[in-house]
Structure 1
């Protein structure tokens, strides 16, 4: 997977091949749902790569970014919540006027694509952390996605260490004791 040019399908396949997600974890949005998201978030467009992400795995992007609201259902409500957080924090909610809010973590970190009307197909991802200034830690959406691979690897490594020590099990079982797929 070329880090500068990969498609969302290649990203998904990489996640599956590495065992970072299961195929049932990857559910995409319909075009109608993507159009509804544009309407609800009041944006004129969704950049190409993020649109592809929604189409391929936006309905349920978990387990990437555990503890973060960023599924399709979350996206329908988080822009207003993000505005409220900014206002309560004394920051300007206007920074989200032409932005697409793509995630919110634990109610204090907002991830967004600013100036969506003028953004290219692979825009930078900005974040706002409560009581801090907005920053642009990921110059492209691809860079953001690559960072998620590293986070997921680290998370699974911790789980494996806990499992090896007998303090955690990664094997989920049904009530009758059979392993889940």
Structure 2
């Protein structure tokens, strides 16, 4: 079972990757803006929880990646464009929510099943998947702690 988002925040802080001041959540209005940008009434529960807890920033977590507000505004269109340009639009399942992009050539999305997919430009398949957003974030925290 994936770790709850508040526990991931505590791991960031205890691991020295963030402080309480650098973990900043989105406001409900900002979450509504993201929802609207995707044209949906509801975001996946884990993603909404992520946005409310750390959607504006989480210390060093995913630094350099558009994974936080306001950088994530417009990602739905940007992500579809990247996939279309690479003849990979078929990889994005109906109802998926684009949640991150790294320097215009890497894309992250959540499928309706909750699975998180990572795509790299010029590929014909998804590069990697995680069972959930929380498991992806836990893996990112572990990787960044090893680098530290």
Q: Same fold (TM over 0.5)?
A: yes
2:115: which partner in 1?
Answer: 124
SS of the aligned residue for 2:99 comes to strand
With a CA cutoff of 8 Å and minimum separation of 6, indicate the structure with the bigger relative contact order. 2
Counterpart residue number, 1:6: 3
The 5-angstrom pairing of residues 1-181 of structure 1 reads: 4-92=1-89, 95=92, 97-115=94-112, 119=113, 123-132=114-123, 133-156=125-148
**What is the rounded CA distance, in whole Å, between the counterparts of 1:6 and 1:124 in structure 2?**
15
Q: What SS does the aligned partner of 1:102 have? A: strand
TM-score, length basis structure 1: 0.73
CA-CA distance at 1:34 after TM superposition: 0.9
**What is the deviation of 1:46?**
1.2
Structure 2 stretches of 5 or more lacking a match?
none
Aligned-residue CA RMSD (Å): 1.9
Provide the TM-score with structure 2 as the length reference. Answer: 0.88
Once residues 136 and 24 of structure 1 are traced to their aligned partners in structure 2, the CA distance between those partners, rounded to angstroms, is: 32
Rounded to whole Å, the distance in 1 between the matches of 2:29 and 2:58 is 18
Q: How many residues align?
A: 147
2-side partners of 1:138 and 1:6: how far apart? Answer: 13
Query: 1:5, CA displacement in angstroms?
Result: 4.6
1:18-74 superposed Cα distances (whole Å, 9 cap, x missing partner): 212122210001112111111111123212222111111011234211221111111
Distance in 2 of aligned mates of 1:5 and 1:87: 32
Unpaired runs of 5+ in structure 1? Answer: 157-181
Q: Is the 8 A contact 1:83 1:96 kept in 2?
A: no
Q: Is the 8 A contact 2:19 2:59 kept in 1?
A: no
For 2:90 and 2:101, locate their aligned partners in 1 and report how far apart those are by CA, in whole Å: 15
**Superposed structure 1 runs of 4+ greater than 4 Å apart:** none
